[in-house]
Amino acid sequence: MRTPLLLDIAADACPERLALGGSGDGMDFHAYRARASRVAAWLLSEGKANTAFLGMNGDALPVLLFASGMAGTPFVPLNYRLADADLNKLVARSAPAVLIADDDMLRRIAPVDGVELVARSRFEAEFMTGGARAKVDLPEAENDIAVLLFTSGTTGDPKAAVLRHANLTSYVMATVEFLGADEDQAALVSVPSYHIAGISAILTSAYGGRRIVYLPAFTAEDWVRVAAAEAITHAMVVPTMLDRILDVMVETGETLPALRALSYGGGKMPEPVIARALAMLPQVDFVNAYGLTETSSTIALLGADDHRAAFASDDPAIRRRIASVGQPLPSIELEIRREDGSPCGPGEHGEIHVRGEQVSGEYLHRKAIADDGWFATNDAGWLDDGGYLFVEGRLDDVIVRGGENISPGEIEDVLRGFDDIADCAVLGIPCVQWGEKVVAVIVSRSGAPDTVGMAATIKARLRSTKTPEQWFVRSELPYNETGKLLRRVLKAELAEEVCAG
C-alpha cells in the first residue's frame, strides 16, 4: 500500500472538507489531491530520483509529501537548523534530487551536481496559488521508499532512515480511524518537517479527515494566538513547548476552549509541567506518545484515562505511571531484553525491542532489523507489572535537549581542538526546562580554561543548542580498565552536583 492512497480515498469520500490552512481560506481535500497530482507530474518530468525540501512549515509541505509518493520519488526533508557545512553534506547525499528551498535559505546551499534548486516562491506561484485545476491521473509509481529522514546517530554523522510506503501506511491504518475526525477538528502542527512527527501528522490527518493548520516555526505566542483564532482541537508538542505555551496562556488569559487533545513526546516531560497543564486545561485529553523515526512514529502511548488515573491514585505504582509512555500499541510487539538477548521480567531494566509492520529499522544501504523482524531501539527501559513502559533514554549517550538529539561526540571533537584541553566529556544532565541540558567536563592543561571562548567557538561551529550550558573542571575523567570513559559514573556525579548546586 502506498501513502497517496490515504489522500486519495479521503478526497473521494469528502472532497469539500477542508484539509489544509485557515477555516476561512483553507484548501479542501479535492484541491489538495489535485495540486499534489500536478506537482507529481512535474516531478516526473524533472526525472530526479529524490524530492528534497528545505524550509519552514506550510501547506506546500504536505502537498510535496503526497506528490513525492505519487511520483515515486522518496521525500527528503532537510534540517534547516544545521550549520551550513553539515546541511550541504546532506544536500549532496540527497542527489540526484529536486530541492525545493525557502527563498531565504537558497544562499546557504552550495551548488552540487545532480541537485536542481527550486525557490519555494516559484514552486508556490506555480502549484499552490490560483484556482485549483483538475487532478492529473498518473500511473502507479513503483519505488517503495516513501521518505528518507536524516537522524542524528551515535557517531554524530546523520544516518538516512528509510521509511517505506508499507511502514507508513501500516502505522496510519493501525492507529487512525478513516475519516474518524469530525469536520470541525483541526490540528496545529509546529514540529518541523524533518522530524518524524511532522511527517506522520500529515498522513494521519489526511486519513483521519482532520484539517492541518501550520505554524511556520514554533513560538509559544504564535501557537496560542493561532490555536485560539483557528479553534484548534488537536496538537502535538514537545515538553519544552508545553511549558512555554502555559506561560503565554497565563500572560494573555487565553483558555483555548476548543482544544480537546494534546499529545506530547520527543523527550521526558517534567512532572510539574504536565501537572500544571492538566490543571490549566481540564477539558483537554493528554496523550504521551513514544516512538522513533525508525518505527514510523508512535509505538506506545499513555492515554487520557491513564493520565487521570495516575494523578488520582494513592498507589505509588499507579502514580508513577505519569512518567511512563503507557502501553505498546496493539498492532506491535514490544519486549525488554537483557544484553544477552534474553527477555527481562517486569521491573527489570534492559533494551527496548520492537516488531511490527510499521517498524522499518532500516537505513539507506543498511538494514538494522533482525531476520525475525525485531528492531533494537537502542533505548533503555522497563515494563511495570501492568505492561506500562518506562523509557530511560538512549543506551548510548545521545543528549536529548528539548526534543533535539545532540551527539556528544561532535561537541567533544571541537573541544579537543583547543590546546588547553587535555581531556573532555560532554553529557546530558536532567533539567526541567529542556529535559536534558548539555554540560562539559574538561581537564585543562593550564588550569585556567577559557570556557567563554570555547563556548563561543562551539556556538559558531555547531549551533547554540549544542553549546554547553555548564562547565566542570576536573583533574581527570573516570575510565574503566579497558580505557572506556565511564560516562554514566560521571553523569551520576554531575547530576548530584547540579542538583546540590
Partner 1 sequence: MDLKPGSRWKSAVCDAQLVVVRPPRTAGELQCGGATVLPIDDAATPSGAVSADFAEGVAIGKRYVDEDSGLEVLGAKAGQGSLAFNGAAMTVKGAKPLPASD
Q: Which CB atom, from 176 or from 399, has the smaller least distance to partner 1?
A: 176
Q: Does 104 bind partner 1 (CB under 8 A)?
A: no
CB of 193 to partner 1, least distance (A): 13
Strand partners, 262: 235, 286
| Residue 328 binds partner 1 (CB under 8 A) | no
Q: Do residues 294 and 393 touch, judged by C-beta distance below 8 A?
A: no
The region of 218-226, 301-309, 335-343, 426-434 touching partner 1 under the rule CB under 8 A is 301-309
CB of residue 212 to partner 1, shortest distance in Å: 11
Among 16, 104, 157, 177, binds partner 1 (CB under 8 A): 177
Contacts 24+ apart (CB under 8 A), 181-184: 181/205, 181/208, 181/209, 181/210, 183/17, 183/18, 183/209, 184/231, 184/233
Choose the stretch contacting partner 1; rule: CB under 8 A; options: 127-135, 169-177, 404-412, 470-478.
Answer: 169-177
> Per rule CB under 8 A, is residue 387 in the interface with partner 1?
no
CA separation (Å) from 480 to 407, 412, 493?
22, 19, 16
Interface stretch with partner 1, choices 32-40, 202-210, 316-324, 402-410 (CB under 8 A): 202-210
> What are the residues whose beta carbons fall under 8 Å from the beta carbon of 456, sequence distance 6 or more?
none
187 touching partner 1, by CB under 8 A: yes
**Composition of the chain by helix, strand, coil, percent to 5:** 35, 25, 40
At residue 383, what is the residue type? L
Minimum gap (Å) between residue 388 Cβ and partner 1: 16
Please state the closest distance from residue 272 (CB atom) to partner 1, in A: 22
Does the protein bind partner 1 through residue 295 (CB under 8 A)?
A: no
C-alpha distances out from residue 63 to 100, 193, 212, 470, Å: 12, 12, 12, 43
Asked if 183 interacts with partner 1 (CB under 8 A), we say no
Q: Is 178 in the site for partner 1 (CB under 8 A)?
A: yes
Are 19 and 26 a contacting pair, CB within 8 Å? Answer: yes
Pairing of strands 297-302, 285-292: antiparallel
Given the complex with partner 1, which of 94 and 185 has the nearer CB atom?
185
CA-based torsion, 3, 145, 174, 309: positive or negative: negative
Residues within window 32-71 making contact with partner 1, judged by CB under 8 A:
none
Binding segment for partner 1 among 8-16, 109-117, 274-282, 387-395 (CB under 8 A)?
8-16
3-state secondary structure of 37: helix
Interaction pattern, residues 248-277, with partner 1; x per rule: CB under 8 A: -------------x-x-x------------
Neighbouring CB atoms inside 10 A of 479's CB total 12
Query: Mask: binding to partner 1, 234-253, rule CB under 8 A, as x and -?
Result: x-x-----------------
303 touches partner 1 by CB under 8 A: yes
Q: Can you tell me the distance from the alpha carbon of 65 to that of 375, in angstroms, rounded to the nearest whole number?
A: 26
Which range touches partner 1 (CB under 8 A), out of 108-116, 204-212, 437-445, 493-501? 204-212
Contact range with partner 1 by CB under 8 A, out of 35-43, 203-211, 215-223, 436-444: 203-211
Cα angle vertex 160, ends 198, 152, to 5°? 75
Site size for partner 1, by CB under 8 A? 40
391 near partner 1, judged by CB under 8 A? no
Q: What is the DSSP letter of 389?
A: E
Taking CA atoms, 222 is separated from 59, 189, 205, 241, in Å, by 17, 12, 21, 12
234, 222 Cβ separation under 8 angstroms = no
Could you say whether residue 356 binds partner 1 (CB under 8 A)? no
Residues with Cβ < 8 Å from 350, sequence gap 6 or more? 336, 337, 338, 339, 344, 380, 381, 382
State which of residues 301, 336, 424, 425 lies at the interface with partner 1 (CB under 8 A): 301
| Helix, strand or coil, per DSSP, at residue 368 | coil
Does residue 283 touch partner 1 according to CB under 8 A? no
* Stretch in the footprint of partner 1 (CB under 8 A) among 175-183, 242-250, 316-324, 475-483: 175-183
Q: How far is the CB of 235 from partner 1 (least distance, A)?
A: 9
Q: Which residue from 41, 105, 118, 179 is in contact with partner 1, where contact means CB under 8 A?
A: 179
How many CA atoms lie less than 13 Å away from 54 in the CB half-sphere? 28
Helix, strand or coil for residue 246? Answer: helix
Query: 234 or 487: whose CB is closer to partner 1?
Result: 234
What's CA 128's distance to the chain center, in Å? 26
Query: Among 43-51, 290-298, 369-377, 456-464, which window interacts with partner 1 (CB under 8 A)?
Result: 290-298
Per CB under 8 A, 460 contacts partner 1 = no
Cell numbers for 336: 525488554
Per CB under 8 A, 27 contacts partner 1: no
Name the site residues for partner 1 (rule: CB under 8 A).
1-2, 5, 8-9, 12-13, 166, 169, 173, 175-180, 187, 197, 200-201, 204-205, 208, 210, 234, 236, 261, 263, 265, 285, 287, 289, 291, 297-298, 301, 303-304, 329-330
